[in-house]
Structure formats: C-alpha cells, structure tokens
Amino acid sequence: VGNEVKVGLLGAGTVGGALLELLKDRESEINQAAGCQIVVKKILVKDPQKKRLIGADSITFDSAEVVSDPEIDIVVELMGGLEPSKELVIKALSNKKPVITANKALIATYAEELFTMADNNGVDLYYEASVGGAIPLIRILRESLAGERINKIIGIVNGTTNYILSEMSSKDLSFEEALNIARQLGYAEADPSNDLDGLDAAAKAAIMASIAFNTNVSLKDVYVETMRNITAADISFADQHGFSIKLLAIVEKLDEPEELSIRVYPSMISKNHPLASVNGAFNAIFIHGSASGDLMLYGLGAGGNPTASAVIGDLIDATHNLISGHKKRSLKRSPLRIKDISELCSRYYLAMDVDDKPGVLADVASLFGKCGVSILSMEQIGIGPAARLVFITHLANEEAMKKTLKGLSQLKSVIKLGNLIRITDAEN
C-alpha cells in the first residue's frame, strides 16, 4: 500500500461522477483523513461515445483492469443493477480487495453470498450509501447500536415517493401532476417503477432488518405495496384528520416467539409523529431501541453529492483498515421466521363510492361487523352520485379486513372501493 491507496471505480454516472469531483475538490482533506493519498487508478464505464469531464485518462472498458489488477487496493462499485455488478464484486472480493458499494438491490438480493465471500477472503464489504444516501445509518446500526435491542425501525427511505406525496399534500395535486414535477426536477427517473412500486424501499428495508436483527433478509422476504393509487382525496382526508400519508418501510422484531415483520406500503401516520414532518425528497429513519428509546436520523437520501459523501466515508474507513490490517467484526447472522402480512393487525382507513340511499350505510356497517372488524368512525363526504363513505377501523386483523373488502366488493350499493390504507400508530 505504501503512501498511496489505489482505487478502481466501477461506474462513473451520477454517484461515481460526484465521487470523482469530490475526491478532486477535497483532495487534501480526504487524504489527511485517510492517512495516505487516495488515487483513482481505473474507471470502468460502458458507453465509449460519452464525453467524460473528469477522470478521462483513467477510463477503461475492460473490467479486469479494475477487479483483477494486483495494483488496485480497493474497488468501488457504482454501476447499479445486479449483473455484471455481482460478478465484478465477487471477483474483486475473491482477489482480496475490499469493496464499497451503493447498490441496495445487489446487497438486498445477494447479501449472504457476498458477505460470506468477503469473510472467506479476509476483506470487508462496505455499503453505507445503499440506504438513506448521505444519512449515516449502516455504521450506526452496526457499531453504535451493536449492543442495543432494536424493536422497530420505521423509515422514509425513498426520496422520489416522499417528494410526490409531499407535493400532493402541500399543493393539492394529483399523483400524476406531482410525478410530472418530480420528473422535471430530476427526482424521478425515466422509469420510476422501482421507486413508486416500493421495490427501492423494500431493498433498503431488507438491508436495515438484516443488520438491526443480525439475520439474512432478502428482497423477496419483504411485503410490498405500490403508492401509485394514493389519491388527492385520500391525502385530503388524512390531512383533515391529523395524519400524513407516507411510503413507510417498517421492520420490527416480535419477541415471543422471535419473529420479524418487514413491510413497505403507503401508510397514514399521525402528524404528531416526527416522521410526518419529513417532506420533499428527504429521508428519515426512526429507530426504537429498548434501552436507547427513540432515535431519528434525517437527511438527503439520494443525489450524486449526498450519496458520494457516504461513499467517501467508507473509502476512508476502508483505507484505514487496509493500512492497519484490520478487518471489521463479522456479523453473526441467524435465521428468523418472517411473519406473513396476513398475521398482522392494524387500524385501517377505507373509502368507497356508494349509492346515496337509505339502508346503504347499515348494509356496509353490518358487513364490517360480520367479518369481525370494529368501526371507530365513519364519515359521508358528498351527496347523491358523488357520495363517499370513509371508515376508520379499530385494530383489526388483515385476514378479517380482506374478508370485509371481498364482501364489500359484492354489495350492489358499493359502486367503487377506494384504497385500504393502514394507519401506523406508535404501538403497531
């Protein structure tokens, strides 16, 4: 290693480009913090036609020049996607190079294989930037809270959807209108499906659960619902009744028996909860530990500079460890049963368009009762053909609620069922 640590970069797009800029602009501070000179020796990219403003001399199209060059000390993966990222990360680890990645899909899908590969080769895999961008979360869960008994984490971990929901709420916009603004401002990608359908948040939930509960949770273990169907009417009702609607990633450990629940869905949350005031493209992660009590981390979860800032923290850490020959403590991960969503209970909001006729409310309410769902409140909004009934339930079981929905869909007087939205209370 000597006085220089040589880095191989896989990908120089939004995050990789910002990383190169920051390494150049802050060269002396970063080198001082790292205790040696950090030099980016090779940069793998894909498109030979693209003009490179920075690092042009180090560009390569041959991945072996990054992951197999014995001179490269540390590999930083900022390509995204599963392949060839996975193959290249495995190759770098098997060549005993520490790897840093911001790729939540990769970690959430292949954590077990990748961490085993890193351990077997005596090197570390760093992934601070994979959840919450600039927010230092992984290190806090892994190190500061290592001895804490974490019961629950509730995160707003997707900036695009939080921006859309915040705009819908503050400017009375429809989902489509808010999505268009998010696109114009560059928050939403050309194909925003992973964000809108909760998959990006689900990958982050899997990562958070794995570290917080020392287990291996993968993307496929997460229950996910899209937020595309949330309407301006849902948001307006929530607002008038003291709630915000947020796409929440919830991971929790239930003690007797030891089980996990990991879920991502749009949820109403009381305006008194600190997460309710996290607006725009910001992310926040609310952690409850049995000794620590409540903690909340807040910041920018996306964008070139915020994400590159987290990568630089990992790069400095990896450099120190490389120089000192130190390897991070391996997490002892043991399997935990994951509770199916059908086994959970929640309070629910349910809206429906109905015929505005005598007896309709009685029919609807009696169906809730027959299915074992107790109603906390009911409101009629609008009259005649525009009549909507909006129910809030007491705590009810998912199965009972599903049965209620099925029954309601068969009632003649129910013209259209709206969204079923869970209410996230402090205690459920």
Positions touching ligand HSE (CB under 6 A) are 158-160, 195, 200, 301-302
Residues that bind ligand NAP in the complex, under the rule CB under 6 A: 11-16, 44-47, 50, 78-80, 84, 102-104, 129, 133, 302-303, 307
Could you tell me which residues come within 8 angstroms of residue 383 by beta carbon, excluding any fewer than 6 positions away? 356
Residue 44 touches which of ligand HSE, ligand NAP, none (CB < 5 to 8 A by kind)?
ligand NAP
Residue 277 CA: distances (Å) to CA of 166, 167, 282, 381: 9, 13, 10, 27
Instruction: Say which of 42, 86, 104, 204 is annotated catalytic.
Output: 204
Residue 160 touches which of ligand NAP, ligand HSE, none (CB < 5 to 8 A by kind)?
ligand HSE
Residue 331 CA: distances (Å) to CA of 102, 125, 210, 335, 394: 19, 12, 10, 13, 40
Supply the minimum distance, in Å, between the C-beta of residue 45 and ligand NAP.
4
Residue number, 158 or 215, with CB nearest to ligand HSE? 158
Residue number, 128 or 195, with CB nearest to ligand HSE? 195
Give the chain's largest Cα–Cα span: 84
Total length of the chain: 428
Please give the residue whose beta carbon sits closest to ligand NAP in the complex. 13
Supply the minimum distance, in Å, between the C-beta of residue 52 and ligand NAP.
8
Residue 354 touches which of ligand NAP, ligand HSE, none (CB < 5 to 8 A by kind)?
none
In the block, tokens 């309601």 appear at 408
List 380's β-bridge partners, or say none. Answer: 389
Residue 212 touches which of ligand HSE, ligand NAP, none (CB < 5 to 8 A by kind)?
none
Residue number, 41 or 288, with CB nearest to ligand NAP? 41
Residue 46 touches which of ligand NAP, ligand HSE, none (CB < 5 to 8 A by kind)?
ligand NAP
204 catalytic? Reply is: yes
Q: Which residue in 129, 42, 125, 62 sits closest to 90, CA to CA?
A: 125
The answer to whether the beta carbons of residues 77 and 11 sit under 8 Å apart is yes
Could you tell me which residues come within 8 angstroms of residue 134 by beta carbon, excluding any fewer than 6 positions away? 299, 300, 301, 305, 306, 307, 309, 310
Supply the minimum distance, in Å, between the C-beta of residue 160 and ligand HSE.
3
List, by residue number, the catalytic residues. Answer: 204
